[in-house]
Amino acid sequence: MAELTDARIRVPVDAPFLVAARGGRPSRIPVWFMRQAGRSLPEYRALREGVPMLASCFDPEMVREITMQPVRRHGVDAAILFSDIMVPLKAAGVDLDIVPGTGPVVASTVRSTADVFALPRLDPDALRPVGEAVGLLLESLGETPLIGFAGAPFTLASYLVEGGPSRNHERTKALMHSDPDTWHALLDTLADITLTFLRTQIEAGVSAIQLFDSWAGALSARDYRELVQPHSAKVLRGVGDALPKIHFGVGTGELLPAMRETGADVVGVDWRVPLDSAVRRLRDAAPDAPPPVVQGNLDPAVLFAGWPAIEREVRRIVDEGHAAAGHIFNLGHGVLPDTDPEMITRVVELVHELPVGE
Ligand code: CP3
């Protein structure tokens, strides 16, 4: 594929993040943080002053700078593109905003067959600033891999159906159970939009992708398999096998094997399930598949507990991660806004000192 011969990509094949993602033995345990680019950094808040969230995502120079900030400050093993799961919907022309302190808010909810058919298609040209930002980042990042990402169809659907963030997802669940045909049409449309967003990033040169199904943990394993999994699988299989694919959700202990079956190389685990248990669940569900690779899973709230507690938890997680064929150290969900950035830097240093395992 073109991206593998792209001279602008200077990421070595033995970059620890890439080796671990493939289930190999890296020179050190790789570490990065979900939401590492964002509100916990004063330099981020200064740059974003007066610029709305979505506007910043369509400004390639701004995306480059915000993506670089945590790489410079913390020395993480991977960068994640500064963007949002709602960016492809915005680019398609869906009327939505990201409201500070609330999250994504959609002007017109999507709840009927007519609403689904009225959803705009995504013209890849509308994502040109995203591709440009990736191109700029290849220059700035040098040997550090860049992770591209997208929201999975279910998590995107939950925002469209509810109209905003939701605790119980009642309207989303009402739609999937009362009108499965409309539900599947909606998720199929969203899978296409997600694929376009990911392909833009892949063609521009990202080294790996993460598919966020943040709210999938709200579903039973049965409903997940029937109503969600085929659409996430369409996305991950559509991406192909040229680069590693991470799949993550919150509260997904019961769903880990089903999420892996969508075609993920790496399964993200939140803090509720110890990594060695997660590995056992994955292995028992698919004894003939390659040994599992996991990402996670420090509770983001532990970063508020003071260094002795943080150190204890990091060491425990690294030990438990030795049960996996590969472990990418991360939080169990995103960095919380009030986190002391100094604690993040110290976690990176500690993880890099700890032994990789057999
Ligand atoms: O991880 C990173 O540092 C890269 C950038 C990134 C953002 N959003 C930037 C952002 C990524 C990977 C996301 C993904 C995302 N966005 C998810 C999946 C990951 C997860 O946390 O489960 C979801 C569900 C969203 C939707 C969304 N966007 C929410 C819930 C929020 C927070 C709202 C709030 O203010 O509490 C956003 C806004 C957002 N996305 C911010 C950032 C840095 C904060 C905006 C700001 O600084 O004003």
Whether 283 sits among the annotated catalytic residues: the reply is: no
Q: What is the DSSP string of 242-281?
A: SS-EEEE-SS-GGGHHHHHTTT-SEEE--TTS-HHHHHHH
Question: Ligand 1 atom 31: the closest Cα is on which residue?
Answer: 103
User: Dihedral of the CA atoms 89, 92, 97, 102 (nearest 10)?
Assistant: 0
**CA–CA separation, 227 and 179 (whole Å):** 11
**What is the per-residue DSSP string for 141-196?**
HTTS-EEEEEE-HHHHHHHHHHSS--SS-HHHHHHHHH-HHHHHHHHHHHHHHHHH
Domain topology for 2-273: TIM Barrel (3.20.20)
What pLDDT is stored for residue 5 in this prediction?
Answer: 56
CA of 74 to the centre of ligand 1 (A): 19
**Looking at the predicted complex, does its ipTM rise above 0.90?**
yes
Instruction: Pick the atom of ligand 1 nearest to 250's CA.
Output: 22
Query: What pLDDT sits at residue 250?
Result: 98
Separation CA 136–CA 132 (nearest Å): 6
Centre of ligand 1 to C-alpha 248, Å, is: 14
Cα dist from 333 to 271, 272, 295, 300, 328, whole Å: 8, 11, 11, 6, 14
Q: Which atom of ligand 1 is nearest to the CA of 100?
A: 35
> Which residue has its alpha carbon closest to ligand 1 atom 42?
38
Check residue 172 and give its pLDDT.
98
22, 39, 128, 280: the active-site residue: 39
- Per the residue annotation, which of 44, 77, 84, 111 is the catalytic one? 84
- Find the catalytic residue in 22, 35, 73, 283: 35
Known binding-site positions: 35-39, 84, 159, 214, 333
Residue with CA closest to ligand 1 atom 24 = 214
User: What is the pLDDT, as a whole number, of residue 184?
Assistant: 98
Tell me if the bond preceding 297 is cis, omega within 30° of 0: yes
Active site residue 73: no
What amino acid occupies position 141? L
Residue nearest to atom 43 of ligand 1 (CA): 38
Give the C-alpha separation, 128 to 183, whole Å. Answer: 30
Query: What is the 3 state secondary structure string of 82-109?
Result: CCCCCHHHHHHCCCEEEECCCEEEECCC
Could you list the pLDDT tens digit for every one of the 358 residues in the chain? 444 557 888 999 999 999 999 999 999 999 999 999 998 999 999 999 999 999 999 999 999 999 999 999 999 999 999 999 999 999 999 999 999 999 999 999 999 999 999 999 999 999 999 999 999 999 999 999 999 999 999 999 999 999 999 999 999 999 999 999 999 999 999 999 999 999 999 999 999 999 999 999 999 999 999 999 999 999 999 999 999 999 999 999 999 999 999 999 999 999 999 999 999 999 999 999 999 999 999 999 999 999 999 999 999 999 999 999 999 999 999 999 999 999 999 999 999 999 998 7
Question: Three-state SS for 318?
Answer: helix
Distance CA 65, CA 73 (A): 12
Of all protein residues, the one whose alpha carbon is nearest to atom 7 of ligand 1 is 84
Q: How far apart are CA 210 and CA 187, in angstroms?
A: 18
Specify binding-site residues for substrate: 35-39, 84, 159, 214, 333
Ligand 1, closest atom to CA 44? Answer: 47
Cα-to-centroid distance, 32 and ligand 1 (Å): 16
348 vs 31: CA distance, rounded Å: 6
Phi, psi of 196 (to 5 degrees): -60, -40
Residue owning the nearest CA to atom 30 of ligand 1: 103
Q: Which residues pair with 212 in a beta bridge?
A: 151, 248
Q: Is 159 a catalytic residue?
A: yes
Residues having CB within 6 Å of any atom of ligand 1: 34-39, 48, 53, 80, 82-85, 98, 100-101, 103-104, 149, 155, 212, 214, 334
For 63, 92, 110, 238, the CA distances from 99, given in Å and listed in that order, are: 19, 19, 19, 32
Q: Is 272 a catalytic residue?
A: no
Domain range list for the chain: 2-273
Looking at residue 2, its pLDDT comes to 43
Residue 92 burial (CB count, 10 A) = 18
**What's the gap in Å between 286 CA and the centre of ligand 1?**
32
pTM for the structure as a whole: 0.97
Mark whether 84 is an active-site residue: yes
